[in-house]
Structure 1
Amino acid sequence: MLTLQRRQLVGHDILLARHGNHISTMRVDRQAGRVVAYLDDGSVDSAPNLITPGLPMPATVRSVLREDWKFFAVATACTTGFAGVMVAAAVALAGLSGEPGMTQLLSAYSGT
């Protein structure tokens, strides 16, 4: 079962174990896969963000959207196209009917 949760950054735990309260700020270097800590004395330390490089990370909403964006784009385009066809069909039926009541019924939009 797919559960969307925040990814746990192992590098934070490693750096906290090494330096404790002497860390002033931390940032994630996603390109290098590391967490970088700036210490109180001005030095910099970093730790890897993964326990094992082959270990799959849990899925997040952002990772699912990044992997499946083409599917969501196609589904959105299909839904928009279908809605457009339905609106066009309603307008065409209203125009084909010679009855004014039918025209009003098919072209009326209730805002509430």
Structure 2
Amino acid sequence: MPALQRRQLVGHDILLARHGNHISTMRVDRAGGRVVAYLDDGSVDSAPNLISPALRMPDTVRSVLREDWKFLGTVTAASFGLAGVLFAAAAAAAGWGSAPGMAELLSAYPGS
């Protein structure tokens, strides 16, 4: 998997190239997929965030979770299931031991 990167907004670069130091503020219109710039003279300009709609943007944590939630859920459930089986096996092995110290040995966890 490639390294997760913050998505760069192409609209910022387009607006900076168009207007340079004449931009007073910028905001991102996420619903419209645009960056809006308020200029010194009171006018407003905007630019799209994507060069091409078919362009694949870099992965983010949110996009990975959105695409792979079934796989990650399955791995989590399998991990909890395996931990439960191992805990049950340790408890059963503690009951099988004839020596009284066997249960203590299997259930003891060294503290720090």
> Structure 2, unaligned stretches of length 5 or more?
none
TM-score of the superposition, structure 1-length normalised? 0.84
Query: 1 CA distance for matches of 2:97 and 2:24?
Result: 74
The CA distance in 2 between the partners of 1:41 and 1:84, in whole Å, is 67
Shift of 1:45: 2.0
- One-letter amino acid of the structure 2 residue matched with residue 108 of structure 1: A
After superposition, what is the alpha-carbon deviation per residue over 1:25-49, rounded to whole angstroms, capped at 9, x for unaligned? Answer: 2222222211122333443321101
- State TM-score, norm by structure 2: 0.84
Distance, in Å, in 2 between the alignment partners of 1:70 and 1:30 is 27
Q: Which runs of 5+ in 1 are unaligned?
A: none
**Matched position secondary structure for 2:57:** coil
Percentage of pairs with the same residue:
75
Q: Distance in 2 between matches of 1:62 and 1:33?
A: 17
Q: CA deviation at 1:65?
A: 1.9
